[in-house]
Structure 1
Amino acid sequence: MSKWSSMKKRVESYLHTRRSVGYNLHTEGAQLQRFACFADKQDHQGHITIDLAVDWANNTLKSNQIGRARRFEVVRSLAKYCVTFEPETEIPPPHLLGPAHRRPTPYIYTDQEITLLLDMANGLQPQKGLRPATMHCLLGLLASTGLRISEALRLNRNDVDLHQGVLKIRETKFRKSRYVPVHQMVCEALSNYATFRDQRLPVVDNPIFFLLDNGKPFQYRQVLYAFHCIRAKLGWDTCLNGFRPRLYDLRHTFVCKRLLTWYKKNADIDHMLPLLSTYLGHAKVSDTYWYLTGIPELMAIAVERFEQQSHLNSMRGAL
C-alpha cells in the first residue's frame, strides 16, 4: 500500500527530503508542484507513470523542446525517489524527449570590453543618481571576483569587510557560506561606492550593500535591464564573434582569465583548480570546468605544451 494519498504528498515528501540535505530546489520545486496539480486535474490515481510524465512535459505552449525535456527530467528525479517506497513506480527513461540541457557558448570579455562596460554604466540615468554608481560598482565586483550575480546582490553591509579585504558570501547553493578575499583596488572601489551611497541615502536603514535612490535593494531584473541598456548603447545587441555578451559571462571570463594567469606563472594547475573551485563556491571541481572555454590564449598554451610533450616523448624513444 502506498504511503502517499496524492501526487501532492509525493512531491512534498521528495522536496522535504532533498531540502533537508541542503538543496534549495526553487525552480524544480515550483515545477513539481505544478506537476502535482496537473496530475490531480487529470484525476490520476496512484504511482507515477511514464505516460503521465510525457503528458505533463508536453502540456505547455511556452517551452521549446529543451524546456519540455527539462520538465520531463524533473519528474524523472521525483520518480527515482518514489520508487524506493512504491516499487511499481515507472521511472521515465533519460532523454526520451531529447536533451534537457544546452550549454550556450559563453562570451569571454577582453579587458578593454570590461572597461567599456564600466564606463557606459556611469552614463545610466538618472545622472548623478545612485543607479549608475551602483551598476558600475556591481559590474566591477562581478568582473574582479567571479561572484554569482545573486551572491553580489545579497551582500549585506556587514558582509563587506573593507579592512580585511574579505567578503562573506552567506548560504548560497547547497546552503554553504564562504569567505572571498578581494584585491585592494576592489576594496577601494567598494569603499568609494559605500561613501557615495551613504551620502545619497544618509537616513536609510537598509542592510543591503547595493541600493537604489529609493533606498531599496538593487533587484536582479533591474540589473539585467540596466545591462541590456548598456549592451545596446555599446552596439553589442548584435553578436560579437558569433556570440552576444551576457551578464553571467563575467563569471566565465573571470575563470578563464584566472587560469590563463596561472599558466603564465607556471603554477601547478592541478593544485590550484580545487582552490578556485572553493573560491567560486562550487561543490566539486567538475563544476568549475563548466566555466572553462577554449579561448585562443588558452588553446595556444595547450598546443605549446602538447608540442613540448611530443618532443620529449620522441627524444625518449630515440634513446
Structure 2
Amino acid sequence: MTNWSSMHERVAAYLRTRRALGFTLTIEGQQLERFAHFAEQRAHQGPLTLALAVDWANASLTPEGLGPARRLETLRPFAKYCQLFEPQTEIPPARLFGPAHRRLPPHIYSSQELKQLLAATAALSPTEELRPVTMHTLLGSLAVTGLRPGEALRLQDGDVNLERGVVEVRKSKFRKPRLVPLHASTTAALAEYLSVRQRCLGLTQASGFFLFDNARPITGDQARHAFQRIRQQLGWDKPETGCVPRLYDLRHTFACQCLLRWYAEGVNVHQMLPQLSTYMGHCKVSDTYWYLTGIPALMAIAAERFELAAATTEEDQP
C-alpha cells in the first residue's frame, strides 16, 4: 500500500520506477509534472479520475485535437501504474480524442535545394566565426547520413572515428547504439570542420562535436533557430504549396535518395531495405517505411514497374 498525499508524489514515484528500468522520460516527465501541478491547482484529492484527465487534456493549446490526444497518451501508462496501488484509479480510454500521432507530410529536398541550404549557412552571423561552419557541417552530415538531429547533436569527439570512417551513435532512440559508416567525402568534410573548430576555439578535446562560438555543444533549440533563420533567408518559410521544410526532413530525404540510387543501380530494393533500416537505427523495417514518401521520381519508377508487370501478365494470358 502507498501513502501518497498528492499527485506530485504519485508522479515522482512513477518516474523513479520507470527511470530505474532505464527509461529517460524527459518530455513525458515534464508533461506529468505539469499534470500534477494542474491537479494541485484544481485542489484534486485522491486517485486519478477520468474527469481530471479529460479536463487536463482539454486544456491543451495544440489545435485539431492532437494535443489532448497526446496528453492522454502520456497519462495512460501513469494511470496503469497508479492502479496497481490504488484500484480506484480510472485509466483514460485509448484514442478518446483520436490518434495521438499523425504523419506530417515531409518536405523531400531536391539536390538544388540542398545546395541552397548549405550555401545559405554562410550568411549566419557572426559570419567570420564558427557558427556558419558548424551549421554547414551539421546540415551536410544530416543529409548524407540520415542521422536523427538529436543523435548528431549529442555526438562527442570520441564518437567520430575519422581513421576508420565511422560514427558511433551511443545515445540513440530506444537506447539502441549503432555504427554508421561514412563516405570518404563525408569523412574529409568532418576532418576539415575539426581543423576549423580548432583554429577558432583552440580546443583539442571538447564537450561535444558540433560547437558554437562559446565552445559549447549546440542544443536542439539553437539548431532549430539557426535553421529557421536559413529558411527565412531562402524564402522557404511560406511555401506556395506543400509543408514548411523542417530540419528532420533531411532524414526523410536521405531515405528516399537511397531508394532512388538503388533503383538507378538496379539493386534489389526489397533485399536492401533491412540494411537501410539497421543503418537508420530502426527496430523493424516497417519503421523505415514511415520515411519513404511518394515523390515524383519514386512514383515514376513505381508506375513504370507497374506497367511492365501488367504487360507481362497480358502476354502470359492465353
**TM-score using structure 1 length:** 0.90
Distance in 2, matches of 1:84 and 1:312, equals 60
Distance in 1, matches of 2:197 and 2:43, equals 55
C-alpha RMSD of the superposition? 2.2
Query: In terms of mean alpha carbon deviation, does 142-151 or 77-86 score higher?
Result: 77-86
Distance in 1, matches of 2:268 and 2:146, equals 21
Q: 1:303 to 1:16 in 2, by over 3 A?
A: farther
Q: 1:40 to 1:238 in 2, by over 3 A?
A: closer
Deviation (angstroms), 1:39: 2.6
Q: 1:53 to 1:265 in 2, by over 3 A?
A: same
Unaligned runs of 5+ in 1: none
**What secondary structure is seen at the aligned counterpart in 1 of 2:107?**
coil
Q: 1:278 to 1:5 in 2, by over 3 A?
A: farther
- Aligned residue runs from structure 1 range 110-259, under 5 A: 110-203=110-203, 205-239=205-239, 241-259=241-259
- Tell me which amino acid in the other structure corresponds to 2:232: A
- Tell me which amino acid in the other structure corresponds to 1:305: R
- Structure 2 counterpart of 1:38: 38
Moved over 6 A (4+): none
1:301 equivalent to 2:301? Answer yes
2:274/2:285 contact within 8 Å kept? yes
Unaligned runs of 5+ in 2: none
- Structure 2 counterpart of 1:263: 263
Deviation (angstroms), 1:237: 1.7
Deviation (angstroms), 1:56: 1.3
- Structure 2 counterpart of 1:279: 279
Distance in 2, matches of 1:170 and 1:126, equals 32
Deviation (angstroms), 1:174: 1.9
Query: In terms of mean alpha carbon deviation, does 66-75 or 252-261 score higher?
Result: 66-75
Q: Deviations over 1:167-223 (max 9, x none)?
A: 111122222211111100001111111111111112575231111222222222222
1:24/1:174 contact within 8 Å kept? no
**What secondary structure is seen at the aligned counterpart in 1 of 2:24?**
coil
Q: 1:195 to 1:313 in 2, by over 3 A?
A: same
- Structure 1 counterpart of 2:62: 63
2:207/2:216 contact within 8 Å kept? no
**How many corresponding residue pairs?**
317
- Tell me which amino acid in the other structure corresponds to 1:34: R
Distance in 2, matches of 1:14 and 1:312, equals 60
- Tell me which amino acid in the other structure corresponds to 1:259: L
1:106/1:252 contact within 8 Å kept? yes
- Tell me which amino acid in the other structure corresponds to 2:7: M
Q: 1:39 to 1:275 in 2, by over 3 A?
A: same
1:23/1:173 contact within 8 Å kept? no
Query: In terms of mean alpha carbon deviation, does 153-162 or 205-214 score higher?
Result: 205-214
1:204/1:215 contact within 8 Å kept? no
1:3/1:85 contact within 8 Å kept? no
Deviation (angstroms), 1:273: 1.7
1:19/1:25 contact within 8 Å kept? yes
- Tell me which amino acid in the other structure corresponds to 1:63: T
1:53/1:72 contact within 8 Å kept? yes
Query: In terms of mean alpha carbon deviation, does 164-173 or 276-285 score higher?
Result: 276-285
**What secondary structure is seen at the aligned counterpart in 1 of 2:180?**
strand
Deviation (angstroms), 1:288: 1.6
Q: Deviations over 1:88-125 (max 9, x none)?
A: 43222223223322221111000111011111112222
Q: 1:226 to 1:313 in 2, by over 3 A?
A: same
Deviation (angstroms), 1:250: 0.7
- Structure 2 counterpart of 1:311: 311
Identity, % of aligned positions: 53
Q: Deviations over 1:265-306 (max 9, x none)?
A: 232333222221221112222222221111011111222222
